[in-house]
């Protein structure tokens, strides 16, 4: 059976540019959630987020005329492809799966606000065209000369993970030997205001799995993986960063905002991923949780984890406690974190975890990264509306 490996990784995160910078921040347990600067937050209850640092944007080598999301996507994708060291012929066969939700909405909102203020229609060609999530795939395929099958996957908070799962499926079925898969989301007013309106944001940096947790923190990022047929990778002598052993994808079909109360879809996704990867729960040493920090998500996720793995049987930590909930990018950002965790044998901590919730029967690695010898790990992304993806990675 075809095995799928990872031969390239690229990240632009609230820590800065590059997978190395990303890992350094995770390993240090730095919480990058701070007062928002990129949008006006006057009048809102929660006014913080994890932003890509302002000084980083101009260094990305991408035109300022592009949307913010497009710029960070391109930079992350470039890094991943550079690491994979593909020939132009390889790139012509490389598929592209992009998880996206907000698209260029940040710039679209500015345009819309200006129209509302002046009362005059202001058809900004670039803004209208770059608003939609599909705009990233169009830029990336063109700039990076990728000729394989192209899909823009919109699956709320699971988009980045779904892209990886579908990209791997494409390779396994023989459609293409290579796929660039990942996700991107920049801060947008709609997202920030919406989660505020739903009262799902913590006014302080989020505290996943903490007894006193009060909600999420938003973040922005882009992360891409080069997925490759293992044989193809071996034949061209490229370096392997890890293996995608299996992926599970399910839908709760329960409610548009609340998860199934017993985590039914989450359990199925994890079980499916393990089965696909031919692994038992006992093989997993670490779970990179969806871990948003909302009272509801963490409770249900913990329940699901206990059902699948048994109480206390895996280490669990939330990357969102460090870099916020990066929306469509989250699944791929956290896949990157999981790969790097396996590589380095170091589990990043859950930040801001002062008083673990007694109803969460797991060691959630509070505060400090923990050195652990690991062979396989699992990453969860459970999207708004009950769309669940679990990915199992191996060293």
Partner 1 sequence: MTQKEILDELKALIVERLKFDPRRAADMTAETTLPKGLEGSLGLDSLDFIELSVAMEERFGIVIDETESLTDEFLSLDSLSRFVLSKVK
Partner 2 sequence: MIRSRRVAITGIGSVNAAEQGGSSAVAAALARPPHAIAAVKIMAVEGSGSGLAAQIDDARLMALLDAADVRRLSRICRMALAACRLASAEAGLEGGSRVGLAMGSEYGDFRSGAEFFNGFLRRGPSGLSPMIFPNTVMNSMAAVVAIAVGAKAPSITLNQATVAGDLAVARGAALIADGRADAVLAGGVDEIFLDVYRGLAALGALSPMRGQGPEGCRPYARDHNGPVVGEGATFVVLESLGRARARGAAIIAEVRGTAWASLPVAPHAAPVRRRDASGTVRRALEQAELEPAALGRCYGSGNGDPSLDDWETALLAADGIRDPISLAPRFGQHGGLGALRVAAGALAARDGAGPALVHGIARGGCRAALVIGEAA
- Binding to partner 2 (CB under 8 A) within 359-388 occurs at 383-387
Q: Which is nearer to partner 2, 321 or 332 (CB)?
A: 332
Q: Which is nearer to partner 1, 59 or 257 (CB)?
A: 257
Min dist CB 366 to partner 2, Å, is 32
Q: Which is nearer to partner 2, 24 or 197 (CB)?
A: 197
Q: Which of 37, 65, 114, 190 binds partner 2 (CB under 8 A)?
A: 190
125 binds partner 2 (CB under 8 A): yes
Give dist(CA 386, CA 308) in Å, integer: 18
Using CB under 8 A, which of the segments 186-194, 232-240, 288-296, 330-338 binds partner 2?
A: 186-194
Binding partner selected for residue 214 from partner 2, partner 1, none, CB under the kind-specific 5 to 8 Å limit: partner 1
Q: In 198-294, where does DSSP find H-type helix?
A: 230-235, 264-276
Binding partner selected for residue 258 from partner 1, partner 2, none, CB under the kind-specific 5 to 8 Å limit: partner 1
Give dist(CA 102, CA 282) in Å, integer: 38
Q: Which is nearer to partner 2, 145 or 354 (CB)?
A: 145
| Rg, the chain, Cα only | 19
* H-helix or E-strand spanning residue 24: helix 19-28
Please state the length of the chain.
Answer: 395
Tokens of 159: 């988009």
- What is each CA distance from 346 to 17, 135, 366, in whole angstroms? 21, 36, 13
Nearest-5° Cα angle at 297, 341 to 264? 95
Largest Cα–Cα separation, the chain = 62
Give dist(CA 374, CA 290) in Å, integer: 20
Using CB under 8 A, which of the segments 79-87, 126-134, 225-233, 291-299 binds partner 2?
A: 126-134
| 3-state DSSP assignment of residue 264 | helix
| Catalytic status, residue 290 | yes
275 binds partner 2 (CB under 8 A): no
Choose among 24, 17, 26: nearest CA to 286: 26
- Are residues 32 and 324 in contact, defined by beta-carbon separation less than 8 angstroms? yes
Query: Which residues form the interface with partner 1 (CB under 8 A)?
Result: 197-199, 214, 255-258
Q: Which of 82, 116, 275, 282 binds partner 2 (CB under 8 A)?
A: 116
| Catalytic status, residue 325 | yes
From the list 31, 157, 191, 206, the catalytic residue is: 157
43 binds partner 2 (CB under 8 A): yes
Tokens of 240: 């392997």
Q: Which of 1, 55, 142, 371 binds partner 2 (CB under 8 A)?
A: 142
Binding partner selected for residue 252 from partner 1, partner 2, none, CB under the kind-specific 5 to 8 Å limit: partner 2
Binding partner selected for residue 6 from partner 2, partner 1, none, CB under the kind-specific 5 to 8 Å limit: none
| 3-state DSSP assignment of residue 185 | strand
Choose among 86, 56, 88: nearest CA to 72: 56
174 binds partner 2 (CB under 8 A): yes
Give dist(CA 391, CA 181) in Å, integer: 13
Min dist CB 161 to partner 2, Å, is 11
- What is each CA distance from 93 to 134, 148, 196, in whole angstroms? 20, 5, 42
Q: Which is nearer to partner 1, 82 or 198 (CB)?
A: 198
Burial (CB count <10 Å: 0-12, 13-18, 19+), residue 342: buried
196 binds partner 2 (CB under 8 A): yes
Q: Which of 31, 76, 153, 315 binds partner 2 (CB under 8 A)?
A: 153
Q: Which is nearer to partner 1, 212 or 312 (CB)?
A: 212
- Are residues 148 and 95 in contact, defined by beta-carbon separation less than 8 angstroms? yes
- Are residues 206 and 217 in contact, defined by beta-carbon separation less than 8 angstroms? yes
Residues near partner 2 (CB under 8 A), total: 70
194 binds partner 2 (CB under 8 A): yes
Question: Site map for partner 2, 226-255, x if CB under 8 A?
Answer: -----------------------xxxxxxx
Residues within the interface to partner 2 (CB under 8 A): 43-44, 92, 96, 100-101, 105, 109, 112-113, 116, 121, 123, 125, 128-129, 132-135, 137-139, 141-142, 145-156, 162, 166, 169-170, 172-175, 189-190, 193-199, 249-257, 265, 268, 383-387
Report the catalytic residues.
157, 290, 325
């Amino acid at each position: 059976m075809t095995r799928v490996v990872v031969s390239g990784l690229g990240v632009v995160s609230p820590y800065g540019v590059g997978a190395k910078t990303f890992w350094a921040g995770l390993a240090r347990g730095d919480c990058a959630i701070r007062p928002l600067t990129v949008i006006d937050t006057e009048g809102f209850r929660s006014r913080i987020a994890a932003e890509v640092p302002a000084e980083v944007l101009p260094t990305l080598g991408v035109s300022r005329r592009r949307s913010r999301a497009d710029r960070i996507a391109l930079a992350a994708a470039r890094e991943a492809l550079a690491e994979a060291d593909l020939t132009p012929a390889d790139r012509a066969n490389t598929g592209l799966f992009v998880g996206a939700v907000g698209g260029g909405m940040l710039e679209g909102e500015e345009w819309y606000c200006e129209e509302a203020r002046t009362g005059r229609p202001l058809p900004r060609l670039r803004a209208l065209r770059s608003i939609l999530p599909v705009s990233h795939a169009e830029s990336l395929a063109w700039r990076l000369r990728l000729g394989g099958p192209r899909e823009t996957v919109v699956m709320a908070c699971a988009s980045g993970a779904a892209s990886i799962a579908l990209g791997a499926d494409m390779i396994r079925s023989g459609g293409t030997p290579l796929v660039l898969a990942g996700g991107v989301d920049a801060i947008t007013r709609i997202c920030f205001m919406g989660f505020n309106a739903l009262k799902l944001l913590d006014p302080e940096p989020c505290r996943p799995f903490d007894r006193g947790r009060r909600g999420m923190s938003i973040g922005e990022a882009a992360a891409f993986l080069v997925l490759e047929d293992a044989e193809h990778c071996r034949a061209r002598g490229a370096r392997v960063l890890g293996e995608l052993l299996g992926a599970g994808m399910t839908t709760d079909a329960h409610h548009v905002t609340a998860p199934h109360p017993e985590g039914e879809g989450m359990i199925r996704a994890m079980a499916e991923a393990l089965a696909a990867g031919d692994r038992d729960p006992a093989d997993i040493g670490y779970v990179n949780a969806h871990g948003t920090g909302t009272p509801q998500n963490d409770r249900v996720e913990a329940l699901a984890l206990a059902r699948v793995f048994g109480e206390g049987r895996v280490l669990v930590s939330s990357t969102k406690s460090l870099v916020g909930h990066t929306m469509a990018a989250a699944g791929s950002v956290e896949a990157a974190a999981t790969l790097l965790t396996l590589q380095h044998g170091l589990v990043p901590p859950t930040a801001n975890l002062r008083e673990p919730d007694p109803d969460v029967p797991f060691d959630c690695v509070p505060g400090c990264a923990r050195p652990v010898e690991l062979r396989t790990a699992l990453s969860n992304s459970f999207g708004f509306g009950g769309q669940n993806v679990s990915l199992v990675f191996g060293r």
